[in-house]
Structure formats: C-alpha cells, structure tokens
Amino acid sequence: MLMDRYTLLQKIGIYAAIFLFLSFILLPFAEMFRTSLSPMSHLFHSPYEIWTTEFSFEAYSKMWEKVPLLGRYIWNSIYIATMVTTITMVFVVPAAYAYARLDFPFKALSLGTFLAVNMFTGAVLLIPLYRIMRTLGLLNTYWAMIIPGVAFLIPTGIWLLRGYLEKIPKELEEAAFVDGASRMYTLRRVVLPLAVPGLIVVGVSVFIGAYAQQYLFAITFNQIPELQPLPAGLNQFIGYQSVEWNQMMAAALTGILPVMVVFLFLQKYLVAGLTAGAIKE
Amino acid sequence: MVDIAERQPNAVTMAKRRGLSEAWFAWLLILPALAFIGVIVAWPLLETIRLSFTNADLGGESWVGLANYQKLLSTPKFYEIVGRTFFWMVLSVSFKMIMGLIGATLLNAAVPGRALFRMLIMPPWIIPIAIGCIGWLWLYNGQFGFLAGMSQRIGILNGPFEFLAYRNSAFYSAIVTDVWVGTPMVSLFFLAAMQGVSRDLYEAAWVDGASRWYRFRRITIPQIMPVIVSMALLSAIWTFNSFEIIWILTQGGPRGGTTTMIIDTYKTAIGNFKFGDGAARAVAIVVILGLFSLLYMGLLNRVNKHYGVK
C-alpha cells in the first residue's frame, strides 16, 4: 500500500534503529555465548579483546565435571516446571470455562480476586509460606517449589484461557446441551476438544512462566543441592578464588535451551496468545 | 431461590432452574482454583498481617501490638528505602514505556524481516530472570566485563570500573537490567495494540496529507493510550516488587544503595529470621501498592473516558 511505502533513506533509518534496539536486547546473550567459547586465559586478559583464535566448545564438556550436579539441576528445572504446568492446568481449565461461558453471582468480583494475586509476588508472602512449608514438612522437597509456583500462575492461566474459550462458537455447546448432555459432559466432550490449540498455547505460556520463576522459591525453601533448579544451582560455578565464567555461561545457555526450543516451535501462537488481552476490550 | 423454583412449575421456572444450576456448576468449577489460591496466597496474606503484630522468630512468638510498626516508622532508613523504591519504580517504568513504544513502533514498520525481529525481541522475557541476570553480572564485571572493557578501548574509562561496587552506578546498572527484562513484554503488548488500530484512521489522515510523525502523535498514541496506561500500572507493580534482579546483581548493596522495600523485607525476614519485623515491612508494601493501585485505577478510568473507551 502506498501509505506504507518508505524512501530508501527511511528504510536505512528503520533498519539501523532496529539493529540498535536488538543489540541492546541481545547483547547479554551474544556476550554469554562468546564467553562460553573463550578459554579463561583469554577472558582474564587485559586489554579486552572480543575475538580470539582459541574459541572452542571445551567449556561445554568441562562444565559437567566442574559441577557434577549440573545435569541434575537442568532436569530439576524441567521437572518442576512440568509439574507446575500440569497442576496449574488442572485448576485453570474448569475455572476459565466458567468465566468464559457461565453466568453466576460474584463473577466479576471473584475474577478480580484472582487477578489481584498478580499484585503480590512470592516475596511478600514468604514468611507464612515458609512456616506453612515447615509445618507440613515440605521444606527441602520439590513440593516447596511446586506449590507456590502453581498459585502464582493460576490467575494468568485463567485470564489467558478464558480469552480462548470465549472465541469458540457457543452454538455447539448449546446443541449438545439441548440434546440432553450434562454440563460436565458438554465441557469434556465438546468444549475441550475444540479448545486444544488454546490449551497448548496457555500450557506453554504457563510452562515458560514456571521455568522462569523458580529462583526465589528455590533459594528460600530448599537447601538440598540435589533438588535445586538450574538458576539456583548456577552459583556452584562461583568458587572461593575465581569464577569459571566460561563454564557458567555454557551451563546457563544449555539451561535455557529447553524453553528456547519450546518457544521456537510455538512462537507465532504465543505472541498472539500472550498479547490477546491487550487488544480485546 | 430454590423455594420459588419449586413452587411454580412453568416455563419461567425452567429457565430459573437452569440459571440456578448454572451458578452452582460455575462455582463448582471455580472452587478448586479459588481454594488453592486461598491457602497459598490469601491465608498467608492474613497470616502476614497477624505476624506483623508479633515478635515472631525461629524460637516462638508473642503479641507485641504496634511495636514493629512504631519501630519501623521511627527508623529514618525506612523512609530512605521507600523513597528509593519509588525512584526505582518511576525511573524503570518510564524507561520501559519509552523503550516499549520505540520497540513496538519499529516492529510495526512495514519492512521485510519483521517477523524475525519480533521473534528476536522475546528472549529476555521468556528465559528465567535469574539466568539473564547472571549474563548482566558478567557484563558489569569491572576487570574483564564487556562494558568496562569496551569503555576502556574506546577511551571512556581509563581503567577498570566495577559497575556494581558503587552505590549510584550499582543502582543505575540494576535499572538497566530491569528495563532489559521488561522491555520485550511491553513492546509486544504495545505492538498488539497498534495492530488493533483501525487502518481507516491512518488512511484518512494520509489522504489529508498528514505526516508519519503527525499520524503517530495524533492517531497511534491516543488510540493505544488505554493499553499504555494499564501496562504502566502492571509494570509499576512488578517493578515495585522486583526481587531477583537486585538480589542477584547486588543483594541490595553496596551499603544499601540498591535496597528496595522488597529486598529489605526479604533480608529482615528470611536473612535474619525476624519474621515479625519482616511481616510489618511486607504489610507496608501491600498497603503502599494498594493505595497506589487505587489512585492509578482512578486515573485509568479518566483516561479511558477521555479517549472514549467504555
């Protein structure tokens, strides 16, 4: 369209601005990757040099020896995030359906209550949570990291999934309902199969959130190294004398691989899904 | 309601009966989630309020009334921390909004490759904050980090500079990292809002000879203003509560230079096991954020009215 046409100069300007903007966003990743390839002697060399002929993937094999539990940390991160996602979805699916389709007293008020949870981070509630976990004997178990994680993802999950369910044509449910199907049957056999794409997007969003939020609960509720997720386990690379920066960066990049892979496959749907609330009014 | 339904068996009651079961069914569906939130969020919140009136620690607890609050409110340092927290929030949120607008505008430009650019902006948002922060920790390293190293090479710095070792530089470094973490999400929300603006408006303005800048200022900004305002509120709450970034970069140091309310609360409660004092600080956060949000919601309503959004 004519309106959208740019002059050559404008095009160059736009690309230059995009380049600058993305440089800021991606700089830490580029530097992390460069560091993971560099030998320590190069990193601790002054003056600062970006390039070296000694780049190698050595750190990616050495890191497993330096921190023997590294594989365990990454596994723990994935395990905790998977558990959080599964449990969260069990709570979210029925609630989101109710908010999308049904009419009931205190609907707006209860939805508001859910969303108000977003106002608190775990940090404000840590003291009683710590005591609850201690009383229940859950300190230093996976559950101490899973349970609070679920609570803080339920509201967002309900909000996102509600948006999806509202887009499914109502007539199909009404038809089933009129034919004498029970409400629960309609939900299970008519609505859920239709909602699969939405369920995947919300599930993945919850997974990414669950993968990202583990640090605080891990450093507060868990002291056992074997159960620690990766973000908390990474400080094992910080020794008494020096930090093995190249291995630490290699481990960090390896640790974000699972979310990056999930994200790459579903990014198109995710962006649309996560921002759906912004355009709907 | 049950009574009426039972007394009058006619068409109207059928609808009512359905309405009744609809409400029950809805509550049945919501109850598990609500109960879970109740136990893990609402109850701890009430418990925090109760604890703030006690001197609870690892040993035990006894009622001390308002003593924790009196102590807190008579500490000059507390006001310093509150002030710093607001400064942190206002500065960081302003930058996030500006960066978000710039980012969304750039990603919205009709140039080849924009699908790729939209993807490349996401990583800081989707990776664990803690891992991104470790990257920044290394960037800020005074001896061997990228920023100090490059600054020396270009000649901005004469020698090593530990960004996180001085109160001011540590504070602004943490702001930069916080903006870095928040920018992708804000950009994508603004982008989504921009794409929702009707093209007819732009075309009409274009036909009338309005420049790009004019169209941005007089169409884009007013049209997405409700999203900007509500995003700013969400972002403000999260920034106010931002914990991991500061904790990993500086643990609130050096000499308290990056200690915000949330860091202060954490240090008091979890670091020193002073649960009572920590709870009083947590309640202060909730009260301040609550008041702030109420004020802000008022503003949001006025903005929405002004721009004609229901």
Tens of pLDDT along B192-226? 888 888 888 888 888 888 888 888 888 888 888 88
Q: What is the mean pLDDT of residues B153-179?
A: 89
Q: How many domains does chain B have?
A: 2
Q: Which of A124, A161, A183, A266 to mutate to test the interface with B (most CBs of B within 10 A)?
A: A124
Chain B residues whose beta carbon lies within 8 Å of the beta carbon of residue A211: 128
> Does residue B101 sit in the same domain as residue B170?
yes
Q: How far apart are CA B139 and CA B180, in angstroms?
A: 13
Residue-level pLDDT at B90: 95
Taking each helix axis as running N to C, give the angle between helix A245-274 and helix A70-101, from 0 to 180 degrees, rounded to the nearest 10. Answer: 10
> Does residue B262 sit in the same domain as residue B232?
yes
Q: What is the mean pLDDT of residues B143-166?
A: 85
Q: In the structure encoding, which two tokens stand for residue B213, read together? A: 């800048």
Q: What is the domain extent for residue B127?
A: 67-306
Chain A residues whose beta carbon lies within 8 Å of the beta carbon of residue B293: 119
Q: Is B104 buried (19+), middle (13-18) or exposed (0-12) by CB count in 10 A?
A: buried
Residue B261: closest CA among B292, B233, B232:
B292
Q: Give B57's pLDDT tier (boundaries 50, 70, 90).
A: confident
CA A199 from chain center: how many Å? 15
Measured between alpha carbons, how far is residue A71 from residues A41, A61, A169, A235, A258 in Å?
26, 12, 46, 14, 13
Q: Give A240's pLDDT tier (boundaries 50, 70, 90).
A: low
> Does residue B36 sit in the same domain as residue B73?
no
> Which of A11-15, A98-102, A184-188, A274-278 has the weakest average pLDDT?
A274-278
Residue B158 belongs to a domain with what CATH number?
1.10.3720.10
Q: Give B21's pLDDT tier (boundaries 50, 70, 90).
A: confident
Residue-level pLDDT at A73: 92
- Give the rounded percent of residues in chain A with a pLDDT score beyond 90: 28
Q: Could you give phi then psi for residue A48, rounded to 5 degrees?
A: -65, 130
> Does residue B124 sit in the same domain as residue B171?
yes
CB B309, CB A281: distance < 8 Å:
yes
Q: Give B174's pLDDT tier (boundaries 50, 70, 90).
A: very high
CB A80, CB A229: distance < 8 Å:
yes
Buried b (16+ CB within 10 A) or exposed e, B187-226: bbbbbbbbeebeeeebeebbeeebeeeebeeebbeebbbb
pLDDT > 90? residue B145: no
Q: Which residues pair with A243 in a beta bridge?
A: A238
Chain A residues whose beta carbon lies within 8 Å of the beta carbon of residue B22: 102-104, 183
- Mean of the per-residue pLDDT values for chain A? 85
pLDDT in tens, B237-246: 889 988 989 9
- SS3 string, chain A, reads CHHHCCCHHHHHHHHHHHHHHHHHHHHHHHHHHHHHHCCHHHHCCCCCCCCCCCCCCHHHHHHHHHCCCHHHHHHHHHHHHHHHHHHHHHHHHHHHHHHHHCCCCCHHHHHHHHHHHHHCCHHHHHHHHHHHHHHCCCCCCHHHHHHHHHHHHHHHHHHHHHHHHHHCCHHHHHHHHHCCCCHHHHHHHHHHHHCHHHHHHHHHHHHHHHHHCHHHHHHHHCCCHHHCCHHHHHHHHECCCCECHHHHHHHHHHHHHHHHHHHHHHHHHHHHHHCHHHHCC
pLDDT in tens, B70-129: 999 999 999 999 999 999 999 999 999 999 999 999 998 888 888 888 889 989 988 999
Residue at B60 is within a domain: no
Q: Is A156 buried (19+), middle (13-18) or exposed (0-12) by CB count in 10 A?
A: buried
Residue at B86 is within a domain: yes
Q: Give A20's pLDDT tier (boundaries 50, 70, 90).
A: very high
Domain at A67-279: CATH code: 1.10.3720.10
Residue-level pLDDT at B9: 42
Q: Give B7's pLDDT tier (boundaries 50, 70, 90).
A: very low
pLDDT > 90? residue B304: no
> Does residue B153 sit in the same domain as residue B192?
yes
Residue A95's closest chain B neighbor by CA?
B30
pLDDT in tens, B284-299: 999 998 888 888 878 7
Of A102, A113, A114, the CB nearest to B26: A102
> Does residue B155 sit in the same domain as residue B25?
no
Residue with tokens 């892979």: A261
Residue at B57 is within a domain: no
pLDDT > 50? residue A231: yes
Q: How far apart are CA A249 and CA A243, in angstroms?
A: 11
Residue at B13 is within a domain: yes
* Cβ distance of B25 and A102 shorter than 8 Å: yes
Interface membership of A125 toward B (CB under 8 Å): yes
pLDDT > 50? residue A279: no
> Does residue B82 sit in the same domain as residue B195?
yes
Residue at B59 is within a domain: no
Q: Provide the Cα torsion B275, B278, B280, B284; round to 10°.
A: -150
- Write the DSSP assignment of B244-303 as a string of letters: HHHHHHTTT-STTTT--HHHHHHIIIIIS--HHHHHHHHHHHHHHHHHHHHHHHHHHHHH
Q: Give A110's pLDDT tier (boundaries 50, 70, 90).
A: confident
Residue A248's closest chain B neighbor by CA?
B134
Q: Which of B54, B122, B126 to mutate to test the interface with A (most CBs of A within 10 A)?
A: B126
> Does residue B34 sit in the same domain as residue B180?
no
* Cβ distance of B37 and A151 shorter than 8 Å: yes
Q: Which amino acid is at A74?
A: I
Q: How far apart are CA B49 and CA A248, in angstroms?
A: 40
Whether pTM exceeds 0.90: no
Residue at B62 is within a domain: no
Q: In the structure encoding, which two tokens stand for residue A169, read together? A: 């044509």
pLDDT in tens, A112-148: 888 888 777 777 788 888 888 888 899 999 999 999 9
Among the ranges A160-169, A177-186, A202-211, which has the highest mean pLDDT value?
A202-211
Residue-level pLDDT at A259: 86
* Cβ distance of A91 and B51 shorter than 8 Å: no
Residue A257's closest chain B neighbor by CA?
B127
Residue-level pLDDT at B14: 40
pLDDT > 50? residue B310: no
Residue B180: closest CA among B95, B243, B292, B94:
B95
Q: Could you give phi then psi for residue B254, rounded to 5 degrees?
A: -75, 140
Residue-level pLDDT at B309: 56
- Mean of the per-residue pLDDT values for chain B? 85
Of B110, B153, B269, the CB nearest to A47: B153
Residue at B41 is within a domain: yes
Q: How far apart are CA A85 and CA A210, in angstroms?
A: 7
Q: How far apart are CA A225 and CA B21, in angstroms?
A: 50
Taking each helix axis as running N to C, give the angle between helix B221-240 and helix B167-195, from 0 to 180 degrees, rounded to the nearest 10. Answer: 140
CA B69 from chain center: how many Å? 26
Q: Is A68 buried (19+), middle (13-18) or exposed (0-12) by CB count in 10 A?
A: exposed
Residue at B188 is within a domain: yes
Q: What is the mean pLDDT of residues B157-167?
A: 86
Q: What is the mean pLDDT of residues A198-205?
A: 86
Domain locations along chain A: 2-10+18-56, 67-279
